Structure 1
């Protein structure tokens, strides 16, 4: 690929709802510039280009977009089922890729993306990048500095009664590829890997208390639809360093006062904020009371696209990027292995691994 181009010129594939958050972040980054956009709906692509401002080209197809000389990297914001396919088209065209989670729908597709990136000497990044913000990273620095001693355990809870109460078309959350773990698990598991390292073994259990759900809002309110996946998933994750994490992901809990994430060590405990946010309070308990920790690490004022900015900076600096495809592939494998464990009612090893991403040292704006 030669010397990296600054700013990194980005072509966006997919201009759906999440694209607005990315466009807002890209507009304030110096080292990343949107140059092209495409979408299955041409009008939506045109609106995104207008929103971005400047001279953004509206491509008629993915092939046209990846063939442009002013596109160095592809921002892949398509639906999950298309993530791997779009990534492969971009990689085969010699473009770096950064995409929304999950990396792919399954292990084989994820490996094909990793293999194509290796073959082409290209970078692939993947959301979530929320864990690069000051919330998770300040907690990570506290763990690295030994403020709670040796990590022993963690808890991670995502509890909700279900998305059908507010989403007008919620069926996909309850179809194969959906469910609470695959929907929200990437945020929590990515945070746990940052905090405690990769997972080597899982033991899971799951249930499906209701066979159908009722849409609660929008023009289809009152309609019912079938539930095709388990909606309450719980498990124990064994990290390579020996710590054990207890995970609960549920669309079946009416209300709860459970913490998002806590990490417990031999000398204290940490309260970690919502991993679906870039910031939030971090508290430590060592001497009888919970005390706030000052922000000490992570990208300040982060937004969707911070991981892409980190990838651009990593290209320029010749270092690994943090929101990496290796991490995303490991998180996907952990989730799928946990579901396999629940179905088989047995503990299972996790065959993949990844490097624990580097700490975002200090507390600075996104690069």
Structure 2
């Protein structure tokens, strides 16, 4: 399927916390139109529809079958991503899934195979990598400002999402945890910056068996933990670059840059990949310190949903692709498998390093 000659007509399934960010973005995306919403809690879908002109509240089945919806935005919980995607694909819809692409690697692969057979498009969050932060760093690497890339670090430390999220249960079951929840931002960024991954070595731990909800109507409720909450991994990129990944729901804070790329001629500080923008800093070999680079690439003032805009403009060449999401999923699951086996794990899938985004203002 090629780029759409008209706006992608979006049906959004899932009206939870993350949906608010997409809803705020849609008015600024000229080639994307939200036409319908659905949620297992019908009242949430009805509330969204009542606040957005031209948007209808439907059941999940109705939305997937609706002829006015050509693309399903899947904002369900991670455990439902692959199932909802397959149902939408079977109905002839494009799909764009929130991260992670799926929980099990085989389920994500099945989504891609179904999409190939049906001739529809598949996209995957996070699309933060399309913003000016990651893309300016990508341009610096491509221009040779750090010489030959050698190594990278990607670090995310937080005491846990239960402190602020009113319903954090899914963060502490398989498919959640710091790696599958926050790791996609970092792995998508590392692949965008340095290319695909061939193999990994991982280690993981779980320091607590319970968590206490800290906000909302369930504040004080204790929930069980059934997934690892501190994960470290070494990623061996096809290029030979070694990336070190640390994702934690157990630690308190860190003072290092979220991502650092180290090369033969310099080091690059990359902003938080959970954001679309942020300063990129370069420390040159023989230089006197960090210098902030001017913004030189990426979608300007981007926000959640820019991946859908990119899908509408580029069709099968979309950058936040299902292939990238699936590769990142396999990399993360390989890290977890390695942590259990104590052995290096090869990554079977690969993907093209997504094409760079030139400095682009979608608002004109």
TM-score range for the pair, normalised by the shorter chain length: over 0.9
Structure 1 gap ranges (5+): none
Distance 1:76 1:342, change over 3 A: same
The DSSP-based 3-state class of the residue aligned with 2:244 is: strand
How many aligned residue pairs are there?
A: 362
Given that 1:37 and 1:49 are in contact with CA atoms closer than 8 Å, whether structure 2 keeps it comes out as yes
Instruction: Write out aligned runs for 1:215-294 (5 A).
Output: 215-286=213-284, 287-294=287-294
- Pair 1:188 & 2:173 matched: no
Distance 1:15 1:123, change over 3 A: same
Structure 2 gap ranges (5+): none
TM-score (norm 1): 0.94
Q: CA deviation at 1:58?
A: 2.2
Distance 1:93 1:214 in 2: 41
Name the residue aligned to 1:362.
Answer: 359
Give the superposed CA RMSD. Answer: 1.7
TM-score (norm 2): 0.95
Name the residue aligned to 1:302.
Answer: 302
Name the residue aligned to 2:210.
Answer: 212
Given that 2:3 and 2:313 are in contact with CA atoms closer than 8 Å, whether structure 1 keeps it comes out as no
Given that 2:300 and 2:359 are in contact with CA atoms closer than 8 Å, whether structure 1 keeps it comes out as no
- Greater shift, 89-98 or 206-215, is seen at 206-215
Q: CA deviation at 1:178?
A: 1.7
Deviations 1:244-292 (A, max 9, x none): 0011001121232121000000000100000000000000010121001
Name the residue aligned to 1:112.
Answer: 110
- Greater shift, 61-70 or 251-260, is seen at 61-70
Given that 1:63 and 1:89 are in contact with CA atoms closer than 8 Å, whether structure 2 keeps it comes out as no
Distance 1:297 1:267, change over 3 A: same
Distance 1:47 1:216, change over 3 A: closer
Deviations 1:152-177 (A, max 9, x none): 00000000112222233333222222
Name the residue aligned to 2:342.
Answer: 345
Given that 2:30 and 2:363 are in contact with CA atoms closer than 8 Å, whether structure 1 keeps it comes out as no
Distance 1:3 1:333, change over 3 A: closer
Instruction: Write out aligned runs for 1:134-145 (5 A).
Output: 134-145=132-143
The DSSP-based 3-state class of the residue aligned with 1:52 is: coil
Distance 2:30 2:231 in 1: 41
Distance 1:34 1:303 in 2: 16
Distance 1:164 1:34, change over 3 A: closer
1:166 pairs with 164, 167, 171, which one? 164
Distance 1:223 1:87, change over 3 A: closer
1:156 pairs with 141, 154, 157, which one? 154
Name the residue aligned to 1:40.
Answer: 40
